[in-house]
């Protein structure tokens, strides 16, 4: 994480549903702070939305646009580099209808440090803050069509917690299986219903992944 990002997050204030702020995005005349900075982890729901929007295979999306890594708990992650973001074309987001949650909420954000909360990055370099009409947090979430993304993020946070307790980093083969379960959308887990929505597909993947992880828990160390 770049130090500027770190400072911005450190000075961010936690907000609740009653929070309101004046905001008007004007991407023609700003620094595009929302599209530059440290890489962000995409959850499988966000990856699936982008893959569907761009009509790419998982491999193409990963190879062309994303960074793949395992975090210290052994969780496979796909990261979106934002230095600059590969989807930023001519100062516009080329995947706007499928943009991730962090992009939808900016200059607000979701963080989980023990507990999930919403923060307002008051010190970020966004020229839209303080301009335009006043919006409540609820109105902003609705305007950005972020409701389903938040629901899926909350489910993902609980899954990440399960992975953190599973000592997955000691099981390299299981890490590889987990990556296939989470991010290879050409592979359908058994629990997935036919014609499932993208949300249902994502939730089915998490259930299948949790089954894999609970199997890991019963294995001898």
Binding-site member from 126, 137, 163, 204 for ligand SF4 (CB under 6 A)? 126
Least separation in angstroms between residue 71's CB and ligand SF4 is 21
Any bridge partners for residue 79, and if so which? Answer: 41, 67
Query: Binding of ligand SF4 at residue 204 (CB under 6 A)?
Result: no
- Tell me whether residue 140 or residue 159 sits nearer to ligand SF4 (CB atom): 140
Query: Binding of ligand SF4 at residue 8 (CB under 6 A)?
Result: no
Query: Binding of ligand SF4 at residue 93 (CB under 6 A)?
Result: yes
Is 55 exposed, middle or buried (CB count within 10 Å of its CB: 0-12, 13-18, 19+)?
exposed
Any bridge partners for residue 15, and if so which? Answer: 118
Binding-site member from 8, 33, 48, 137 for ligand SF4 (CB under 6 A)? 33
Binding-site member from 5, 21, 77, 82 for ligand SF4 (CB under 6 A)? 82
Number of residues in contact with ligand SF4 under rule CB under 6 A: 20
Binding-site member from 2, 27, 197, 214 for ligand SF4 (CB under 6 A)? 27
Which tokens go with 200? 């249902």
């Amino acid at each position: 994480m770049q130090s500027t990002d770190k400072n911005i997050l450190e000075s961010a204030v936690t907000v609740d549903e009653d929070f309101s702020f004046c905001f008007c995005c004007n991407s023609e005349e700003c620094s595009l702070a929302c599209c530059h900075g440290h890489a962000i982890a995409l959850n499988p729901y966000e990856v699936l939305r982008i893959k569907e929007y761009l009509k790419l295979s998982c491999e193409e999306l990963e190879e062309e646009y994303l960074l793949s890594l395992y975090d210290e708990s052994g969780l496979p992650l796909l990261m979106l580099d934002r230095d600059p973001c590969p989807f930023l074309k001519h100062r516009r987001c080329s995947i706007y209808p499928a943009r991730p949650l962090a992009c939808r909420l900016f200059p607000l954000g979701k963080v989980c440090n023990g507990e999930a909360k919403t923060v307002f990055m008051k010190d970020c370099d966004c020229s839209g803050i303080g301009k335009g009409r006043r919006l409540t947090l609820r109105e902003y979430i609705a305007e950005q069509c972020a409701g389903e993304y938040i629901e899926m993020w909350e489910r993902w946070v609980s899954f990440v917690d399960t992975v953190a307790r599973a000592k997955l980093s000691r099981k390299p083969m299981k890490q590889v299986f987990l990556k296939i379960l989470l991010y290879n959308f050409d592979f359908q887990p058994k629990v997935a219903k036919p014609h499932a929505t993208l949300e249902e597909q994502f939730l089915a993947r998490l259930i299948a992944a949790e089954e894999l992880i609970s199997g890991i828990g019963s294995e001898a160390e």
